[in-house]
Structure 1
Amino acid sequence: MLRQIICGTLLVVATSSANSIVGVSPEDQHLYNPTIIDGIQYWHCLNDSSIRLTYDQINDNYCDCPDGSDEPGTNACPDTKFYCTNKGHFSNYIDGFKVNDGVCDYDYCCDGTDEIDGLCQNKCGEIHQQYIEYKEGVDKFMETALKNKEKYLQIAKGRKDQLISKQRKEQNQLSLLKKQWEGLQLELENNQLQAELEQEEPSVYQALSDKFNDLNQKLQVNKDSVNSNNNNIETLEQILRTLSNNYNPNFNDPAVKESINKFKQYISNKQQHVDKRDIFEETQNVVDKLQETAKSLTYGGEIVVPTLTNTIHYYFQLFTNTFLKSQQPKVSHFSNNELSGQIDQLEKQIKTLANKLKDTTTDLNTNAGPNDILRAYDTINKKIAGYHYRINLLNSIYQDDILIGRFKEYKDDKVYFDYGSRCWNGPQRSGDVEFVCGKGPDIVSVSEPQKCHYHFIIQGESWCNVLTEEEVRGNFKIDYDKL
């Protein structure tokens, strides 16, 4: 009996007006115009015209069409949408299965048309007034937020400009230091080259000094040996001469007599004595003269086949010495040791500055979000659930003294951090930061969706953008306590 009453009521609703099918928007009402054949009204399923229904089968709470198009105002068919007029507010659609479920879904149908007449009051006027107040608040907030956002954008731009200026300054300083290094290096090489050019070629005596020393030593040894032998001969001759002069001929000693006779024969046949010391002196004089002559002669060294580099160097020096004699090489005011010390010092400065430039360039090339907005913020602090969190968006995140992670990258509207302190019996900590529009900067939530991985939500004006009417409507929530 109740089903018959409901169906009768629905039939009256469906047929009361050819242009007013419940659950259908005004724009789609024409899709439900009947076809009259022999005075009878018919209608075809929207997605299958081969299925023909009588007009009173629309919204009869029975699903006849596979696409459910015959039941726009009931919950008989799955995956359908019910149109709510919501006069005085904004029209909307509600899922078909929520129609006539006994719940007043004012978020979708503030006029209550999704339920049986009388179950839900029309609240569109009150809800729309809430929306107007909400929109005014949103507009007021957005006006201030966008001004603050512009300030942060200017801060970000200023800090990036400072980085660019710092990079250029370090590049110029590095270039200057390298030029200074090159100048000192060239000066040192010139000093060394000048010293080589001014160095005298070795003399023959210098080249043969070892051999001259050896010859002089051998001459002295031979001289000493000859002198010793001469002294021994003179001593022996004196002994024999004494024996010969004092010999007693009456003493009949054939051996003595024979020795005396041979000595006398030796003396008579002995040539006039030649002093061998004179020979040695003459020999030494010859050697001394040879040494003096050798000192005045230069020694060219070994014959070397010149390399291409040496050949170019030789002809370059020949050219400069021949045609550029008036141009004297630059005289250094520093010794080679002093120049080497300055070069070492410059090399240390160059290395230090090169590392600083590398860090600056890396910082400058880091993706810091849209318009480099992350650069505008210093450390964001907040105590949540007994923990003190410190977030530096381009550096690190700390929970008290525990490192959650260091900056990894900005990607897909989030900042990722990794290589934090290792969890007890777990992996290294890591985290990510998500941003929403709101008054800030403020850490609004911290969660741990995975073991030792932390998820932060930060709200701030920098992430606010001009909202469309649809976005404002979508964000609006009804305050049911005021209904």
Structure 2
Amino acid sequence: MFFQIIFAAVFSGGLVDARKIRGISSSYKRFYRERKSFLCIDGSKIIPFEQVNDDYCDCDDGSDEPGTSACPRGRFYCTNLGFRPHYIPSSRVNDGICDCCDASDEYNSHAHCQNTCWNLGQKERAYVEVQMRTLDEGLRLKQQLIEEGVLLWREKQAQLRELQQVAEDLQIKLEEHRRRKHEADQLKEQTLKALAAGDSGLGRWNRTVSSVFQLLDSNGDGSITVDEVQAKVSFVHDEEQILSEEEAAALLGGGQRMDLIKFQHTLWEVLTKGDNVKIKDTPSSPVGEDPHLQAADKAAEWETTNLKKVEEAYDTVNMEISDLQKKLAIDYGTDWEFLFLNSQCYKLKVYEYTYTLCPFNQVLQKNTAGTEVSLGKWGMWAGTAKNQYSQMVYENGEPCWQGGSRSTTVTLTCGTETALRSVKEPSKCQYMMDFQTPVACQPVLKQRGIHSEL
């Protein structure tokens, strides 16, 4: 009787060990409490509890065989104490290959697996610690960049206001110079008309006649002689030919000399028309010798030059204003933390190509021959709903030979320095870049920590 009791105890103890449920996580143990029957987790069937892990698949979802390879859709849970727990397909259970670091998937095979979870856990914990330190340093640097971004944003705004004030001042100057140029042009036109009128009788006209008369009257005796005409007057089409005495006398009205009054009504009119004779070393008309016209012409030229300078300055300032307004219209993050990237470029050489990323501007690819290809121009932020600043899209690059245009997606990752880390072309003319920068660090990452089961 005593032997029977001991046998029953031993047998029942062995039965309990055999009934130990393998391949389930602690959150699923409630479904596998030993009772008379087992309800498939998907609720599709009730089977006797003895059929759980009996190496025969009864449930459609494979939930009755978590510890065997009987069910094609089954999953085996690797506890992996000291490392990360995870699921493997139940088809890998007892297949002679160690998939779980704690060797729990090969409990009934010829494989001799060692428990490597602790070593793997140590490595992962060390890696996570490095990541945490990187994150802490990245967040510290990010705060600095945020502060710099705010200051830079204010500087840009102040610069814009200054440029707008300069533009307003130049606008006033521009209008003033335009008015003065108009007046100078009018004065020049009036002087020309006065010179062309010939007998206007204006004081300015008389001074013009007198100035030409004095130019011809070399000895200043108040009269022009044949010799003086020969010395100062030439033919329009042959300046080297000297007038004969007869030709000079004819210009003097047939006499040997003439005074200012006679000059005004004879030789002056001939010189004004400029059809045949002119004063030597001057244009065909004596108009160019008139000091008043020269002064008017010089004033008009001066005002034209000044107006052009002011116009160029005004256009330059307006271009700077437009460029600055475009830059300030870009979304640089909630705290302007990405503003420091503007006007910066980052390069990375991959095999025979050098890639250049200029944030908020463009992406370029250059081969060893020096040929550059545009891989896209700044388009927009394209991150997730939780973090829209995690991805950039650059669109409308140079046309691809297969049609369409090249484009680049830039993924921003957390790091202690700002650099272009990798470039890939997963599909033709569609590029992917990994761009590391402290401003991509997110405090929420710290809340993940290390898995509780490590």
Q: Please state how far the C-alpha of 1:383 moved relative to its aligned partner.
A: 2.8
**In the alignment, what sits opposite 2:378?**
408
- In the aligned structure 1, how far is the partner of 2:40 from the partner of 2:397? 62
Q: Please state how far the C-alpha of 1:379 moved relative to its aligned partner.
A: 1.8
- In the aligned structure 2, how far is the partner of 1:133 from the partner of 1:29? 32
- In the aligned structure 1, how far is the partner of 2:428 from the partner of 2:139? 37
**In the alignment, what sits opposite 2:132?**
139
The 8 Å contact of residues 13 and 22 in structure 1, kept in 2 or not, is answered as no
- In the aligned structure 2, how far is the partner of 1:361 from the partner of 1:45? 65
Out of 414, 423, 428, the residue aligned to residue 446 of structure 1 is 423
The within-5 A match list for 1:370-409 is 371-377=335-341, 378-400=344-366, 401=370, 402-405=372-375, 407-409=377-379
Q: Please state how far the C-alpha of 1:54 moved relative to its aligned partner.
A: 1.6
Q: Would you say 1:75 and 2:52 are equivalent positions?
A: no
**In the alignment, what sits opposite 2:25?**
25
* 1:365–1:86 CA distance, 2 compared to 1 (3 A): same
The 8 Å contact of residues 157 and 372 in structure 1, kept in 2 or not, is answered as yes
SS of equivalent residue, structure 1 residue 16: helix
**In the alignment, what sits opposite 1:54?**
48
Alignment RMSD: 4.1
SS of equivalent residue, structure 1 residue 48: coil
The 8 Å contact of residues 52 and 65 in structure 2, kept in 1 or not, is answered as yes
Q: Please state how far the C-alpha of 1:64 moved relative to its aligned partner.
A: 0.9
The 8 Å contact of residues 71 and 90 in structure 2, kept in 1 or not, is answered as yes
1:121-160 deviation per Cα after TM superposition (whole angstroms, max 9, x unaligned): 2222222222232223222332333333333334433333
**In the alignment, what sits opposite 2:60?**
66
* 1:343–1:68 CA distance, 2 compared to 1 (3 A): same
Q: Would you say 1:432 and 2:423 are equivalent positions?
A: no
* 1:423–1:26 CA distance, 2 compared to 1 (3 A): closer
- In the aligned structure 1, how far is the partner of 2:303 from the partner of 2:427? 61
**In the alignment, what sits opposite 2:107?**
116
- In the aligned structure 2, how far is the partner of 1:350 from the partner of 1:177? 6
The within-5 A match list for 1:99-114 is 99-105=93-99, 109-114=100-105
The 8 Å contact of residues 376 and 397 in structure 2, kept in 1 or not, is answered as yes
- In the aligned structure 2, how far is the partner of 1:340 from the partner of 1:143? 63
More helix by share: 1
* 1:27–1:387 CA distance, 2 compared to 1 (3 A): closer
- In the aligned structure 1, how far is the partner of 2:322 from the partner of 2:355? 30
Report the TM-score when normalising by structure 2. Answer: 0.56
Query: Where does structure 1 lack aligned partners over 5 or more consecutive residues?
Result: 1-10, 36-40, 192-334, 477-483
Q: Which one has the largest radius of gyration?
A: 1
* 1:394–1:46 CA distance, 2 compared to 1 (3 A): closer
**In the alignment, what sits opposite 1:284?**
none
Report sequence identity in percent.
Answer: 28
**In the alignment, what sits opposite 1:455?**
432
Report the TM-score when normalising by structure 1. Answer: 0.53
- In the aligned structure 2, how far is the partner of 1:430 from the partner of 1:48? 49
Q: Please state how far the C-alpha of 1:385 moved relative to its aligned partner.
A: 1.2
SS of equivalent residue, structure 1 residue 140: helix
**In the alignment, what sits opposite 2:167?**
174
- In the aligned structure 2, how far is the partner of 1:416 from the partner of 1:30? 48
**What code does the residue aligned with 2:103 have?**
G
* 1:63–1:438 CA distance, 2 compared to 1 (3 A): same
The within-5 A match list for 1:313-324 is none
**In the alignment, what sits opposite 1:311?**
none
SS of equivalent residue, structure 2 residue 106: coil
- In the aligned structure 2, how far is the partner of 1:47 from the partner of 1:388? 55
- In the aligned structure 1, how far is the partner of 2:137 from the partner of 2:419? 17
Q: Please state how far the C-alpha of 1:357 moved relative to its aligned partner.
A: 1.9
**What code does the residue aligned with 2:32 have?**
Y
- In the aligned structure 1, how far is the partner of 2:312 from the partner of 2:80? 77
Q: Please state how far the C-alpha of 1:344 moved relative to its aligned partner.
A: 8.4
The 8 Å contact of residues 414 and 435 in structure 1, kept in 2 or not, is answered as yes
* 1:470–1:82 CA distance, 2 compared to 1 (3 A): farther
**In the alignment, what sits opposite 2:37?**
42
* 1:13–1:88 CA distance, 2 compared to 1 (3 A): farther
- In the aligned structure 2, how far is the partner of 1:399 from the partner of 1:434? 18
* 1:348–1:66 CA distance, 2 compared to 1 (3 A): same
The 8 Å contact of residues 430 and 454 in structure 1, kept in 2 or not, is answered as yes
The 8 Å contact of residues 61 and 71 in structure 1, kept in 2 or not, is answered as yes
- In the aligned structure 1, how far is the partner of 2:421 from the partner of 2:356? 13
**What code does the residue aligned with 1:145 have?**
G
**In the alignment, what sits opposite 1:359?**
323
Aligned length: 309
The within-5 A match list for 1:145-224 is 145-177=138-170
* 1:17–1:178 CA distance, 2 compared to 1 (3 A): farther
- In the aligned structure 1, how far is the partner of 2:47 from the partner of 2:427? 56
* 1:472–1:48 CA distance, 2 compared to 1 (3 A): closer
Q: Please state how far the C-alpha of 1:113 moved relative to its aligned partner.
A: 0.9
The 8 Å contact of residues 389 and 398 in structure 1, kept in 2 or not, is answered as yes
Q: Please state how far the C-alpha of 1:352 moved relative to its aligned partner.
A: 4.2
- In the aligned structure 2, how far is the partner of 1:397 from the partner of 1:24? 50
- In the aligned structure 2, how far is the partner of 1:351 from the partner of 1:86? 71
Q: Please state how far the C-alpha of 1:364 moved relative to its aligned partner.
A: 0.6
Out of 104, 129, 136, the residue aligned to residue 122 of structure 2 is 129
